[in-house]
Amino acid sequence: MTLPASIEQARFNMIEQQIRPWDVLDPQVLALLSVLHREDFVPASHQALAFVDMEIPLVADAKAARQSGRCMLAPRVEARMLQDVAPQPHEKVLEIGTGSGYMAALLGARAASVISLEIDPQLAAAARANLARAGAKNVEVREADGARGLPAEGPFDVIVLSGSVAQVPEILKDQLKVGGRLIAIVGDEPVMRATLITRTGAVGFTETQRWDTVAPRLAHFAELARFKF
């Protein structure tokens, strides 16, 4: 597979036809999407899908990729999450689920520093290489299970879960600074909701559900108990 003849036209179409209509209107986010090359984070076997409105498998078996969460999220989902969580130039960010490294690169372009946790060793290595080529010097990828976050290195201004969970664990909320924000895709298929949690005090949080979508599960996060009749 190869990219379209006009990469810049494809990028423009992605922004104008997929991302902007999804209420991503922050000019800084739109400008970043135009200069940070998404195609450089896409596996060679799926290069033709770099600007398509879909999740991109990061391993050869597409079904297995979705079941295990080893996918790039759709461009509009990544862009909306970035806009809603609004990292600032002085802020420290934790991402859970590095994948290809693209979301980490977007976060790194807006924040002071990013630590991104990836449980899959091969994806972690590939993401490091992608980020190095992109010149993202303030992003660190660690091979780790992100379900518990990084309590010893918090608190964080921003936490991003790059995948879905049944619920946001309290241990992650506790790693937010006062005023800090966590964004995650929460729920079960067929309807999940992008949820923004803001820490308002030592024990206080506000939670807003921003928009509906569906995304693959992050590994090792607990599922809700099911009632059996």
Q: What is the pLDDT of residue 71?
A: 87
For residue 64, what are its two tokens?
């297995």
Strands 71-72 and 56-57: antiparallel
Q: What is the pLDDT of residue 70?
A: 78
Q: How far is CA 96 from CA 17, 73, 148, 158, 219, in A?
A: 28, 13, 10, 11, 10
Q: What is the pLDDT of residue 66?
A: 58
Q: What is the pTM of this model?
A: 0.93
Please report which helix (H) or strand (E) contains residue 124, including its range: helix 121-134
Q: Give the residue extent of every domain in the chain.
A: 7-213
Q: What is the pLDDT of residue 167?
A: 95
Burial of 158 (0-12, 13-18, 19+ CB in 10 A): buried
Q: What is the pLDDT of residue 226?
A: 64
Q: What is the pLDDT of residue 224?
A: 79
Report, at the CATH architecture level, how domain 7-213 is classified: 3-Layer(aba) Sandwich (3.40)
Parts of the chain with a pLDDT under 70 = 1-5, 60-69, 225-229
Q: What is the pLDDT of residue 45?
A: 86
Q: What is the pLDDT of residue 5?
A: 59
Q: How far is CA 56 from CA 178, 199, 214, 225, 227, in A?
A: 35, 32, 14, 30, 34
Please name which of 206, 211, 149 lies closest in space to residue 186, comparing C-alpha atoms.
Answer: 211
